[in-house]
Structure 1
């Protein structure tokens, strides 16, 4: 490794202050361009003039336009399989939605919603065993997801703010879709009946949504009511509640707006 003296470094910095580009300074002084860039970075850090990465405008703080349909869907995913994390040493928190590898279409839909809600932020997928974590980093995550807090969601109160409620009222199907894609499914039940002395198998589809949080269950069933969907609820011994949609007309409505995961 070639060491360059203080005199060469000061000459390089003087040329940079005069407006010369890194590459030209490197050629003139016959030193690597990376060294010039490193010296410039150290000088700016010493002076406190390092260029920052400005945070993108927020719909709540700055009045940026929000894709409300995409937001309602992403809110449903967040309430089911999402959480906000800020790792030690990281300046910016991230919203992470965990999606099963069994449903690649769901992963695509999640990423598309994140990009629509955060159009200027980077969205990425992180591979984990059997799943993908779809992530976006922003300083304004808690502005858009004020339900964030310590502990599990079913152990704390989950309530929509008035501005969130207005969006959900306009886009109930998008919230329902996000909740079903996270903690719900479309299944086919079957039963056997004796008709004319012969056993006959009947199959019928239904939608199930399972959750422990009474607040999230209420948000889901209220959205179903707004959408005109009939439902029934049952409680397991574990405390998990199942919301079932089995009436033919209601299943047809769900199929038209949601359909099975893919």
Structure 2
């Protein structure tokens, strides 16, 4: 296994504009390994490499849970082996807490799920040795500081259940709001209200996953700023309402 210094120095050569072939020849590292380091520089923990689960028992529930995880979740090791999946859910949305717990059990039937009260939120937590395999995007540090790329098998699930992924992302880091504007009609200023969806995330990769999925679903969106995506066109809001709706 290559150490972190070798991995980072190899990627630094690429950052200088060198070709993949020339860096591979100079370092002796295969092109496949270098490409893998571009996606994730940290070594995959041995448990995750050796883990061979049957896959999520319910793929639609998994697409939803993936959205929740990418927004407000983490996978962390237990000191004595195995891992915890933890997803933060605001106290204001008891329905979301229920949906999260239901999705966890649907994905891994038989696992226990605990709800731990924190300040302003609850942490939906589940212990299982296979969580690192089911969420290979896990790693040290914050998600927006590292590459977030779906594995091929995850992409197949998302392609089959795109609305479930979008629903999970919106339920974690999004909202449905009512905006208003004024317009002069016949010399009288009238107030108009209209619904709008927002999705907020600091990770460019997660934002791209969200917008790419919306594109495939025919939902029009705009970038409000560097970390906010807005859906405001009437037909697109109607689509979102049909499949997502406000949190509760």
Instruction: Normalising by structure 1, report the TM-score.
Output: 0.73
1:124, distance to aligned residue in structure 2 (A): 1.1
Match in the other structure for 1:40: none
Task: Compute the RMSD of aligned alpha carbons.
Answer: 1.2
1:243 pairs with 2:243: no
Match in the other structure for 1:190: 180
Q: 2:77 aligns with which of 86, 95, 99?
A: 86
Matches for 1:44-55 after TM superposition, within 5 Å: none
1:62, distance to aligned residue in structure 2 (A): 4.2
Match in the other structure for 1:45: none
Q: 1:254 aligns with which of 221, 235, 240?
A: 240
1:99-139 deviations in whole A, cap 9, x for unaligned? 00000000000000001011111111001111110011111
CA distance in 1 between partners of 2:223 and 2:129 (Å) = 38
Matches for 1:72-151 after TM superposition, within 5 Å: 72-87=63-78, 89-151=79-141
1:65, distance to aligned residue in structure 2 (A): 5.9
Q: Which has the higher contact order (CA 8 A, sep 6+)?
A: 2
1:86, distance to aligned residue in structure 2 (A): 2.1
1:63, distance to aligned residue in structure 2 (A): 2.7
Q: Answer yes or no: is the 8 Å Cα contact 2:173–2:201 preserved in 1.
A: yes
Match in the other structure for 1:168: 158
CA distance in 2 between partners of 1:66 and 1:229 (Å) = 29
**SS of match in other structure, 1:261:** coil
Equivalent pairs counted in the alignment come to 198
Q: 1:69 aligns with which of 36, 44, 60?
A: 60
Match in the other structure for 2:167: 177
Runs of 4+ in 1 over 3 A off after TM superposition: none
Name the CA shift for 1:65/1:172 in 2 (closer, same or farther; >3 Å): closer
1:245, distance to aligned residue in structure 2 (A): 0.3
Instruction: Normalising by structure 2, report the TM-score.
Output: 0.77
1:64, distance to aligned residue in structure 2 (A): 5.5
Q: Answer yes or no: is the 8 Å Cα contact 2:53–2:130 preserved in 1.
A: no
Matches for 1:184-223 after TM superposition, within 5 Å: 184-223=174-213
Rg larger in structure? 1
CA distance in 2 between partners of 1:124 and 1:155 (Å) = 29
**SS of match in other structure, 1:134:** strand
Q: Answer yes or no: is the 8 Å Cα contact 2:105–2:111 preserved in 1.
A: yes
Mark the runs of 5 or more structure 1 residues left unpaired by the alignment: 1-59
